[in-house]
Amino acid sequence: MTAPAVEQAAPPALVEVPAVASLAVRALVAGRRRRFGVLGASTHAVWLDGGHDVLVLSTRDATRLPNSVELPFDADRALMASIPPGDTMQVGGGFVTGGPLTVRVVRWWDPRLVLAPVAPGVLERRLNGLPGEVPGIDSEPLACAIRARCPTGVLDAATELLGLGDGLTPEADDMVAGTLAGTRCLGHALGMRRSVAALDAVAPVLMATAMARTTTFSAALLRHALRGEVAAPAAAFLRALAGRGDVVAAHTQLRKVGHSSGRALAAGIVLAGRTLIATA
């Protein structure tokens, strides 16, 4: 006896979603096709792990990160959330594909921050009253090392902090990221090349340490921070510190990001600013 033929349900139509990606991940996205593992997925984001590199597929209403591939508002959120962790997606050739999702990058944005020059006194005034620490995190050794322009000191102090706290990006990592990005961007704006050079000196070792001591995702964000690439609200705050935009508004916006990430990032940036001024 044969079972009656069952009509197969048609596979979901492959819709190509246009996306906008960070230039910081162009080599990954436009390069040779590779498999990335799905770290996690929600209605706002899919985190993709390429071993050393992490990409975030996110919708436009999520925070834009320096490693974001951003989908339009009307992206199929249910589809995104349905991607199981552990699955793989293909990244490369200008596409991110996996399961029913086909994302084509049609446009790039530049996450590198270029700030207008700013005088130390002006920056000090703009930083006035903003919190530069996070309760429970002793950031003084890091500040001390930046003030001393001491690469090994920066490395040791940052290493001590990495991985401290909960979450996809531990709170201390966010603070360190803020401090590193703040030192690079504000250091340029203040014309303090030696402080920036100290960062460059520790970058490779710090990255290797981060890979060992914290989550893959957080380590990736730290790598971007070292190059001065930060989440969009942190960029807006840094721009405001350099005279483009309202400092208090940008600071408030940044502190709203995530559960604690925004506050820690903001504190790190403020710490970097104050430390640089103290050195200048």
Which residues contact other proteins by CB under 8 A? 17-20, 23, 60, 70-73, 106-110, 112, 114-116, 236, 239, 242-246
- In whole angstroms, the minimum distance from the beta carbon of 118 to other proteins comes to 11
CA distance 232 to 156: 28
Angle between helices 171-190 and 120-127 (to 10 degrees): 150
Cβ contact 208:254 at 8 Å = no
**Nearer Cβ to other proteins, position 18 or 31?**
18
Q: How near is the Cβ of 224 to other proteins at its closest, in Å?
A: 16
116/267 Cα distance (integer angstroms): 21
Hey, what are 262's tokens?
A: 């925004």
| C-alpha dihedral, 73 to 245 to 176 to 213, nearest 10° | 10
Residue 172 vs 234, nearer CB to other proteins: 234
Q: Is the CB of 213 or the CB of 239 nearer to other proteins?
A: 239
243: left (phi over 0), alpha (psi -120 to 50) or beta: left
Cβ at position 70, least distance to other proteins in Å: 7
3-state secondary structure 42-94: CCCEEEEECCCCEEEEEECCCCCCCCEEEECCCCCHHHHHCCCCCCEEEEECC
Number of H helices and E strands in the chain, helices first, is 11, 8
Q: In terms of CB distance, is 110 or 140 closer to other proteins? A: 110
Return the half-sphere exposure (C-beta side, CA atoms, 13 A cut-off) of residue 202.
26
- Name the residue nearer to other proteins (CB basis): 111 or 151: 111
Query: Which tokens is 99 given?
Result: 């399961």
| Length in residues, the chain | 280
